């Protein structure tokens, strides 16, 4: 009874406040009519607009409020420490550029994955951490690992994720579980990754660029559905622990050249990396396998040569059952991968376009252009991106010369010829410069659009 009475009072007060608000606005406009000579048609138009805004405020207020970003769940640091057995090596699931990941068992019996991050202790770094984690925790998609919550103690930050029992994709491609994925599972993983990236780039409130798409950052659930991990974390690293500078050698085979060399960041950087992962899934090979001969060491280069020779089917993993897939279907997906890794950034498809291409039954001929990639010595192989500004002046060509003292390499940068050591120093300076000028405009522009919408 008391609850019903309270609800009636609340509804009555709400209705009275709305009526009062409308009456006040009408009174103000009547006063304007009395004191100023106003065009009547314009006044009617303004009144209609006012009524529309009032209806939007009253009727859609709850809906708009529901779309506000919600903060992540806060965990006690001590509870997570106990859950991971004091972050013991036995509980470690893996390690990467963003920090170590540990398996944890919460008090309620739920199994989670806990990632340890170290961020700067400045007030700005704390604010960045809180805003970015809040943003990440609101990302919900079946192909993205969900952030459950976080905890912070000093400079150490803990992120709590849902636990994936099957671990990462690389274990199934070239690890201890190699050869256990059939063709249908591999195809579903490719499509799921594309959908997850399309959501991050185009369907979420703001555009989130992952920057580090690779097979070890793709986790598999119990049904072998892919879930992309570590998205949105690139901004959480301190300046002196830049992910690109500390782990650049480890992700050379995936990094788009225009980002690694020129610092040009766009969602097409993820598209490029996704194309490389497609080739890994189909071939069961690493993007850069130093155990192979130089001619076949780089997966992307090998795929392009096979494409030119019209022999793409040779790229397929030998452990796959040939009765499980159609050669034409496999060729089409490899061509989509080559489309994603084209030199010209503008020529690469968006991830939503990739999803359509993957699911389309239309066998239209795809004509990718030559890809560009960075080899193990940080040299650009293939053509430079035509979309890069002043690419002609920045284009780098490597020529190997042989002498009695051994192999030496000269690099042409514009009209200048520099030695291998100077070239390497130049590349490091370019990478450092790219890190120092992290572009936050897209995310802030998106947040402003969302708040004002």
Binding positions for ATP are: 115
H/E stretch holding 184: helix 183-198
- Concatenated DSSP letters of 327-366: HHHHHHHHHHHHHHTBSSGGGSPPHHHHHHHHH----PPP
Q: What are phi and psi of 47, to 5 degrees?
A: -65, -40
Q: What are phi and psi of 228, to 5 degrees?
A: -75, 130
Q: Which residues contribute to the annotated binding site?
A: 115
H/E stretch holding 105: strand 99-105
Residue 212 appears among annotated catalytic residues: yes
113, two tokens? 């994955």
- Concatenated DSSP letters of 390-434: THHHH-EEEEEEEETTEEEEEEEETTEEEEHHHHHHHHHHHHHHH
Q: What are phi and psi of 230, to 5 degrees?
A: 70, 15
Of 128, 170, 212, 317, the catalytic one is 212
So which residues are the catalytic ones? 212
């Amino acid at each position: 009874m008391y609850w019903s009475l309270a609800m009636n009072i609340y509804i009555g007060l709400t209705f009275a406040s709305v009526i009062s608000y409308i009456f006040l606005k009408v009174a103000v406009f009547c006063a304007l009519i009395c004191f100023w000579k106003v065009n009547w048609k314009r006044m009617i138009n303004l009144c209609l607009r006012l009524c529309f805004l009032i209806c939007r405020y009253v009727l859609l207020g709850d809906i708009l409020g529901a779309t506000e970003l919600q903060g992540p769940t806060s965990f006690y640091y001590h509870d997570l420490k106990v859950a991971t057995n004091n972050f013991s090596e036995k509980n470690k699931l893996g390690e990467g550029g963003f920090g170590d990941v540990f398996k944890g068992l919460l008090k309620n019996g739920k199994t989670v994955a806990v990632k340890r991050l170290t961020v700067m202790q400045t007030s700005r770094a704390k604010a960045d951490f809180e805003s970015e984690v809040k943003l990440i925790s609101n990302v919900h998609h079946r192909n993205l690992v969900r952030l459950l919550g976080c905890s912070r103690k000093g400079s150490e930050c803990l992120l709590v994720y849902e636990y994936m029992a099957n671990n990462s994709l690389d274990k199934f491609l070239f690890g201890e579980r190699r050869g256990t994925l059939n063709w249908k599972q591999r195809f579903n993983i490719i499509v799921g990754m594309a959908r997850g990236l399309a959501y991050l780039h185009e369907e979420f409130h703001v555009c989130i660029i992952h920057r580090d798409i690779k097979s070890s950052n793709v986790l598999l659930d119990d049904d072998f559905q892919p879930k992309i991990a570590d998205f949105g974390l690139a901004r959480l690293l301190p300046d002196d622990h830049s992910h690109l500078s500390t782990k650049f050698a480890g992700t050379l085979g995936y990094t788009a050249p225009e980002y690694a060399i020129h610092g040009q960041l766009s969602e097409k950087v993820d598209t490029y990396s996704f194309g490389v992962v497609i080739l890994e899934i189909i071939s069961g090979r690493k993007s850069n396998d130093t155990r192979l001969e130089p001619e076949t060491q780089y997966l992307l280069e090998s795929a392009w040569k096979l494409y030119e020779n019209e022999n793409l089917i040779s790229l397929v993993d030998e452990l796959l059952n040939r009765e499980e897939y159609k050669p034409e279907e496999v060729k089409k997906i490899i061509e989509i991968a080559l489309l994603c890794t084209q030199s010209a950034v503008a020529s690469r498809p968006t991830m939503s376009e990739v999803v359509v291409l993957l699911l389309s039954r239309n066998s239209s001929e795809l004509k990718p252009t030559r890809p560009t990639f960075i080899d193990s010595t940080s040299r650009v192989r293939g053509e430079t991106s035509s979309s890069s500004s002043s690419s002609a002046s920045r284009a780098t060509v490597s020529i190997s010369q042989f002498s009695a003292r051994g192999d030496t390499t000269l690099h042409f940068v514009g009209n200048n010829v520099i030695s291998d050591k100077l070239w390497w120093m130049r590349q490091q300076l370019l990478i450092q410069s790219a890190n120092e000028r992290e572009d936050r405009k897209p995310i802030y522009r998106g947040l402003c659009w969302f708040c004002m919408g």
